[in-house]
A and B are shown apart, each in its own frame.
Chain A
Amino acid sequence: MSEAATAQERPGIDPDLFVRRTEEGLARLDLVVAGMHCAGCLRKVEGALKGLSGVEYARANLSTKRVAVRWDPARLEASAVIRALADTGFAAVPFDPKLIGTLDDRESRSLLKALGVAGFAAANVMLVSVSVWSGLVSDMDETTRSFFHWVSALIALPAIAYAGQPFFRSALKALRAKSMNMDVPIALAVILATTMSLVQTMVNARHVYFDASVTLLFFLLIGRYLDVQARAKACSAAENLLGLRATAATLIAPDGTHKSIAVENLEPGMKVLVVAGARIPADGEILTGTSEIDTSLVTGESVPEQVKAGTSVFAGTLNLGAPLVIRVTKRDDDSLLAEIVRLMETAEQGRARYVRIADRAARIYSPAVHIMALATLILWFTLGAPWETSLTYAISVLIITCPCALGLAVPVVQVVATGRLLRQGVLVKAADGLERLAQADTIVFDKTGTLTLGQPRLVNGDEIARADLALGAAIAAASRHPLALALTAHGQSLPHPLLDDIHEEPGMGLEARLGGETIRLGNADYAGARATHEQGHGGSELWLRRGSDEPVCFRFEDTPRPDAKSVIAALKARGFAIELLSGDREPAVKRLADELGIANWRAAARPAAKIARLEELASEDRKVAMIGDGLNDAPALRAAHVSLSPADAADVSQTAADFIFQGAKLAPIVEAVDVARKSRRLVFENFGLALAYNAVAVPLAVAGFVTPLVAAIAMSSSSVTVTLNSLRLNLAQRRALSRKAS
């Protein structure tokens, strides 16, 4: 108890843990500053940091909301850096850039480089090609044309070899796995067209296709870059959310001193201090202290659990009452966390079988295209055309049918949809998340923390005398226990009596004196109440006893999210079957299900039971969207067809989920569903447009009417049409917003 009582306040994260040394001997710290939104903030943050003596470099990144600081460690401490920002009103949280992925960054950078090279080549090859095209109808002599063709080859060959790599690599990977994706026809068309053009250049023919293959790559790289960029943005926002909650544990050294330690470095046998209001950093056993623990994030149970010395506790649970000292134990194989990790590993396999729409289209599309090109070759050859002409026509068919529009159709829609959702506070983490969400027909909700806020609310306030309510609120004001906070909030407007000698008995309740009478507020034992009066109540209770009077019971329940009911109704109206799958006790689940109008519900579901139910639904050929927040939901989030998770969910769940939505409301779910469905419609429209183009252009190409100029125009215009069509997704939103405003 003595060790536990020393720390009254929750310690912040020790920034020293995140400081790294640069080669020049400077200290370097990376921070997430979530509150940075505008030029003014940027300026204040950088100004505050540069104003510190010893700071050599401070640069804020407004896109990622991250700040990099470098300073002379001899003149400044890391905590001073955080404090300087706190003084200007910005909460800064250190993070380790190694833990927060920089992988996507490298990918988008190499794509951007390829895009630059392809852009340069496309512009210059076009410059030459346009001259050649105009030369065809005027008086260009053969030497000049040949010279121009060689110039094109000189530019195009290295550019294609460099900029085409993303497609060649992906196509090769697909072929090795004996499957087809979008990149196979792309790579084939580019390589064939380039080789053919090279041969044509050597034999001094009239037409070469370097321009077509280079512009094709250029357009496709634009699509691919936008796609990666949009996802990187959503992912970095998601990582910031996780980083914001990075916590350090307070280690109690054998000599009794306290120091901060990163959670990953905790070893079995170490003693850690968990102050009231902090999350328990590792699985362990309580050595000293009595308290209540909120396990809702782990089990879905909304009523706090009483713990005392000797009780086992799980990482991720929240200590509510009093400081605890915990001895870290090794993770047993039968611990809840081990079970969850095991379930998650097996659950993931189902998801990997999903094939993206674009790749499914490619499976039908590319054989068709290749057969058609081959047929053209054979047709012209048997008709007696020279083999060069036959091959040229066959390549025209390949180029004109090349899935340029298809390759652009999906990424552009994705980018617009992801951006639109990002503005509404929904982060799309999985590349194919929108496609899968559009297919969903059943939504399974978790209860605690998902449909509810995970905050208790007084439910029987009307049955309690005003004087008792005022007294309860007055005494509760001295505590930070969630139930006490809820009671204080409820009795805010009432006149509080003046109390003396308020003190808190950890894990039990509060005691105070009012004019010689002893007042106690706490659990049933502490207030001297008999067993619970009312059976079937699913929430928590507090008892108030004044002197020797009969104790009064305050009953609390979890608060549903403010728009839970309307969101459920909206989802039902969109044709979803709704189900509630909770780890909480039956009465609490039943009450919420009735209140929100959910007919299908299951209570006391363990993680394995949740997965079993999802598998049952999947075997009925239902596509399930799982929405949950707890550690116990993580395996289910992985097992479901698509999954969403609120921003305050457990880390594991956020990592497992395809979407993360922010804020106290559930409305973003409806928005995400609408956008996903609209995106799918747009993708199909784009496919339709591209096919319509092909339907016109392919017969012409087969018949041999398509010159390189026509092919280039047809290709670009179909890409532009598809892009414009995709942008309608944004237009629709603008219109909706302006309608709302007027």
Chain B
Amino acid sequence: MNILIFLVPAALLLGLLGLAAFLWSLRAGQYDDLEGAAERILYDDDKPDDDEPGDGRRKD
């Protein structure tokens, strides 16, 4: 059963990683606009810097 000495901390570490990721995403404002994020995914422009209004790819 000595393997547990490694496996349990490993499981905990992975869990903590998940928790850290969640807290990070919360701080980064990813939960501020749930509806907007769902809609934004529909756009296929990879480079948000050069999205000029009225470029040919816009579909609305």
Residues of A within 8 A of B (CB): 38-40, 42-44, 47-48, 50-51, 60-64, 88, 109, 112-113, 116-117, 120, 123-124, 127-128, 141, 143-144, 147, 151, 155
Report B-chain residues with C-beta under 8 Å of the C-beta of A141. Answer: 1
Which residue from A61, A112, A127 sits with its C-beta under 8 Å from B36? Answer: A61
Report B-chain residues with C-beta under 8 Å of the C-beta of A112. Answer: 26, 31
Q: Is the CB of A144 within 8 A of B23?
A: no
Report B-chain residues with C-beta under 8 Å of the C-beta of A147. Answer: 4, 8
Which residue from A48, A61, A124 sits with its C-beta under 8 Å from B15? Answer: A124
Q: Is the CB of A62 within 8 A of B36?
A: yes
**Could you tell me the distance between the alpha carbons of A44 and B15 in the complex, rounded to whole angstroms?**
40
Q: Nearest Cβ distance between residue A44 and chain B, in whole angstroms?
A: 7
Q: Is the CB of B26 within 8 A of A62?
A: no
Q: Nearest Cβ distance between residue B2 and chain A, in whole angstroms?
A: 10
**Could you tell me the distance between the alpha carbons of A144 and B4 in the complex, rounded to whole angstroms?**
9
Q: Is the CB of A62 within 8 A of B31?
A: no
Q: Is the CB of B60 within 8 A of A40?
A: yes
**9 tightest A-B CB contacts, nearest first:** A40-B60, A39-B39, A47-B53, A62-B36, A120-B19, A61-B33, A62-B35, A116-B22, A63-B35
Q: Nearest Cβ distance between residue B39 and chain A, in whole angstroms?
A: 3
Report A-chain residues with C-beta under 8 Å of the C-beta of B23. Answer: 113, 116
Which residue from A39, A48, A88 sits with its C-beta under 8 Å from B43? Answer: A39
A sample of 11 more A-B contacts (CB under 8 A), given A43-B60, A62-B33, A116-B22, is: A39-B43, A43-B43, A47-B51, A47-B53, A60-B36, A109-B26, A116-B23, A143-B1, A144-B4, A147-B8, A155-B12
Which residue from B19, B36, B42 sits with its C-beta under 8 Å from A63? Answer: B36
Sample (23) of A-B pairs whose CB atoms are under 8 Å apart: A39-B39, A40-B60, A42-B39, A43-B60, A47-B52, A47-B53, A47-B58, A50-B51, A60-B36, A62-B33, A62-B36, A62-B39, A112-B26, A113-B23, A120-B16, A124-B11, A124-B12, A128-B8, A141-B1, A144-B4, A147-B8, A151-B8, A151-B12
**Could you tell me the distance between the alpha carbons of A192 and B35 in the complex, rounded to whole angstroms?**
41
Report A-chain residues with C-beta under 8 Å of the C-beta of B31. Answer: 112
Q: Evaluate whether A120 and B60 lie within 8 angstroms (CB atoms) in the complex, with A39-B39, A43-B43, A63-B36 already known.
A: no
Q: Is the CB of B36 within 8 A of A38?
A: no
Q: How large is the interface on B (under 10, 10 to 19, 20 to 34, 35 or more residues)?
A: 20 to 34
Q: Nearest Cβ distance between residue A68 and chain B, in whole angstroms?
A: 10
**Could you tell me the distance between the alpha carbons of A60 and B37 in the complex, rounded to whole angstroms?**
10
Q: Is the CB of B32 within 8 A of A61?
A: yes
Q: Is the CB of B52 within 8 A of A42?
A: no
Instruction: Closest B residue to A49 by CB, please name it.
Output: B53
Report B-chain residues with C-beta under 8 Å of the C-beta of A39. Answer: 39-40, 42-43, 60
| Interface positions of B from 12 to 55, Cβ below 8 Å from A | 12, 15-16, 18-19, 22-23, 26, 31-36, 39-40, 42-43, 51-54
Instruction: Closest A residue to B12 by CB, please name it.
Output: A124
Q: Evaluate whether A116 and B26 lie within 8 angstroms (CB atoms) in the complex, with A43-B58, A64-B33, A124-B15 already known.
A: yes
Q: Nearest Cβ distance between residue A130 and chain B, in whole angstroms?
A: 12
Q: Is the CB of A44 within 8 A of B53?
A: yes
**Could you tell me the distance between the alpha carbons of A725 and B52 in the complex, rounded to whole angstroms?**
49
Q: Is the CB of B32 within 8 A of A127?
A: no
Report B-chain residues with C-beta under 8 Å of the C-beta of A44. Answer: 53, 60
Q: Is the CB of B1 within 8 A of A144?
A: yes
**Could you tell me the distance between the alpha carbons of A60 and B39 in the complex, rounded to whole angstroms?**
12
Report A-chain residues with C-beta under 8 Å of the C-beta of B19. Answer: 116-117, 120
**Could you tell me the distance between the alpha carbons of A595 and B32 in the complex, rounded to whole angstroms?**
48
**Could you tell me the distance between the alpha carbons of A8 and B43 in the complex, rounded to whole angstroms?**
45
**Could you tell me the distance between the alpha carbons of A527 and B3 in the complex, rounded to whole angstroms?**
102
Report B-chain residues with C-beta under 8 Å of the C-beta of A63. Answer: 32-36
**Could you tell me the distance between the alpha carbons of A50 and B55 in the complex, rounded to whole angstroms?**
13
Which residue from A42, A48, A116, A151 sits with its C-beta under 8 Å from B40? Answer: A42
Report A-chain residues with C-beta under 8 Å of the C-beta of B15. Answer: 120, 123-124
**Could you tell me the distance between the alpha carbons of A63 and B33 in the complex, rounded to whole angstroms?**
5
Report B-chain residues with C-beta under 8 Å of the C-beta of A42. Answer: 36, 39-40
Q: Is the CB of B39 within 8 A of A51?
A: no
Q: Is the CB of A51 within 8 A of B26?
A: no
Q: Evaluate whether A51 and B33 lie within 8 angstroms (CB atoms) in the complex, with A39-B39, A116-B19 already known.
A: no
**Could you tell me the distance between the alpha carbons of A424 and B6 in the complex, rounded to whole angstroms?**
55
Interface centre among A61, A117, A143, A155 (most CB of B within 10 A): A61
Q: Is the CB of B11 within 8 A of A127?
A: yes
Instruction: Closest A residue to B49 by CB, please name it.
Output: A50
Q: Nearest Cβ distance between residue A415 and chain B, in whole angstroms?
A: 14
Instruction: Closest B residue to A159 by CB, please name it.
Output: B19
Interface centre among A62, A128, A155 (most CB of B within 10 A): A62
Q: Nearest Cβ distance between residue B27 and chain A, in whole angstroms?
A: 9
Q: Nearest Cβ distance between residue A101 and chain B, in whole angstroms?
A: 15
Q: Nearest Cβ distance between residue B18 and chain A, in whole angstroms?
A: 7
**Could you tell me the distance between the alpha carbons of A687 and B27 in the complex, rounded to whole angstroms?**
37
Q: Nearest Cβ distance between residue B48 and chain A, in whole angstroms?
A: 9
Q: Nearest Cβ distance between residue B58 and chain A, in whole angstroms?
A: 7
Report B-chain residues with C-beta under 8 Å of the C-beta of A40. Answer: 60
Report B-chain residues with C-beta under 8 Å of the C-beta of A116. Answer: 19, 22-23, 26
**Could you tell me the distance between the alpha carbons of A48 and B60 in the complex, rounded to whole angstroms?**
14
Instruction: Closest B residue to A105 by CB, please name it.
Output: B32
Report A-chain residues with C-beta under 8 Å of the C-beta of B18. Answer: 120
**Could you tell me the distance between the alpha carbons of A498 and B43 in the complex, rounded to whole angstroms?**
55
Instruction: Closest B residue to A108 by CB, please name it.
Output: B31
Q: Nearest Cβ distance between residue A580 and chain B, in whole angstroms?
A: 40
Which residue from B8, B35, B42, B53 sits with its C-beta under 8 Å from A48? Answer: B53
Q: Nearest Cβ distance between residue A218 and chain B, in whole angstroms?
A: 13
**Could you tell me the distance between the alpha carbons of A641 and B5 in the complex, rounded to whole angstroms?**
61
